Structure 1
Amino acid sequence: MLDLLAPDLDPEQGDRLTRTAYKQDFRQREDAVSDGSSWKLERRQHFEEQGSPSRDALRRGDWEEALRLLADRRDTLAATAEEDERRGYAFHRVRVVESPLTPYVQWELHSQRQRAEYGQRIRVVPAEQVAASEDTGLLPEVVVLGGRTLFQVLYTEAGVANGAIRYTDRDLVERWEKYIKALYAVGEEVISYFDREVAHLDPPTLSAGRE
């Protein structure tokens, strides 16, 4: 278990953004980062992502189509990797996993393994590593951009994106970046985790129209 505790987040200290405003602000701030890095913590085990044909196929229970559609984006991933290298930008992800894997996380790990093949820095940590910080509930979904901005990404109970809260207090941003970096340091590279824990799994079974 990681000894370092996650910092608190007080919504009153941030700016509430709608989903559209968040996407626009995120894009602008990320594009402005050069010769720097960003850090993302993914904790929830289920999301209802929108705008992803592969995710839609998973929702329908068409596992082969979901994986085929992931494979179709390799050119896009290669172009993104080339652009990130050009501007000296590195995006890091920490994916917290519970066992057994939910259908969503099983699908996402296929996606993340593919991303890692194109240079994205992704590591996996078991939920036990963050238990010390979850006495009162699950950790939030957090992204720290360029050491300057922290977004707490919000979701409905069902896992549908619902905007974000933006924080710019330098001390808070630095403490969250330190926490995510500490998780990343004890995490396992997603490729080795996937090859050992995920590659052999049967297609996920969806029950009652849910994952």
Structure 2
Amino acid sequence: MRSPLHGAVGERMALKDYYADFEKYFWHCGDLGFWKLERQQTFKEPGYDSWEAFWRGDWDESLRLLEAGRADMAEYHRKVEQNGFVARRARVVEEPLSDYMQWELHALRIRDQCGGPIHVTDADRVAQYEQDGPLPEISTLGNQVMYQALYDERGILVAALKFVDRQLVLRCRELIMSIYNAGEPLAHWFDGHVAPLPPPQRQAPR
């Protein structure tokens, strides 16, 4: 099966413009809500305190910082609810988990507990959509707009593509929904696949 983007060409946006544009649309998602598909297994998130602690090998501190952000995350999702929509994520995973995925799933667990529902789907279940390569990192905001996150070879977010074709947005939203619905709620999946794992054996990078 072909990529859900079917060769569609989006408007490339620098990060500053992307963040401003995203903010403008996000709070007006309406009943269709916000849907995000996350496929890549390793990222780098410089500037995020918990990730920085994880990256330098301080696992306990990375988890402490995630927990310290819980109140802000809960307030964020209360605001989402007050604006009449839900922000859902479908997270594709490959096992054994990468060190990054182990950390990210702890972060996503807090988001899920604070009102941002997340379902986990095994990579084998999306193989049918990946004949042209891995699924893109995309998010749909209502039926108005979709963004594809673009990363460099290090896994750092560098830009985004914006798509406004309504049929494309709805088609990709339906795909994300189908992957989400085929997945398992993170709360239950986490207990069986993440909680038993020992901390990643990372050493501080030079």
User: How big is each residue's C-alpha offset from its partner over 1:23-59, in whole Å with a ceiling of 9 and x where there is no partner?
Assistant: 1111111023344401100000011113210000011
- In the superposition, the TM-score normalised over structure 1's length comes to 0.92
Cα offset, 1:138, TM superposition: 1.0
Provide the rounded CA distance (Å) in 1 between the counterparts of 2:99 and 2:88.
Answer: 23
- Structure 1 stretches of 4+ with a deviation exceeding 6 A read none
1:157 and 2:153 matched: yes
2:123 corresponds in structure 1 to 127
1:58 corresponds in structure 2 to 54
1:44 and 2:40 matched: yes
Aligned amino acid, residue 182 of structure 1? S
Q: 1:94 aligns with which of 90, 100, 106?
A: 90
> Does the residue aligned with 1:109 lie in a helix, a strand or coil?
helix
Provide the rounded CA distance (Å) in 1 between the counterparts of 2:166 and 2:141.
Answer: 12
1:10 and 2:7 matched: yes
Does structure 2 conserve the Cα–Cα contact (< 8 Å) formed by 1:5 and 1:179? no
> Does the residue aligned with 2:187 lie in a helix, a strand or coil?
helix
Alignment of 1:103-122 (within 5 A): 103-122=99-118
Provide the rounded CA distance (Å) in 1 between the counterparts of 2:63 and 2:12.
Answer: 35
User: How big is each residue's C-alpha offset from its partner over 1:115-157, in whole Å with a ceiling of 9 and x where there is no partner?
Assistant: 1111211000000011112123211100101121110110011
Does structure 2 conserve the Cα–Cα contact (< 8 Å) formed by 1:92 and 1:120? yes
Aligned length: 206
Provide the rounded CA distance (Å) in 2 between the counterparts of 1:112 and 1:172.
Answer: 27
Does structure 2 conserve the Cα–Cα contact (< 8 Å) formed by 1:35 and 1:87? no
Alignment gaps of 5+ in structure 2: none
1:204 corresponds in structure 2 to 200
Aligned amino acid, residue 65 of structure 1? E
> Does the residue aligned with 2:42 lie in a helix, a strand or coil?
coil
Cα offset, 1:206, TM superposition: 2.7
Q: 1:187 aligns with which of 183, 200, 203?
A: 183
> Does the residue aligned with 2:86 lie in a helix, a strand or coil?
strand
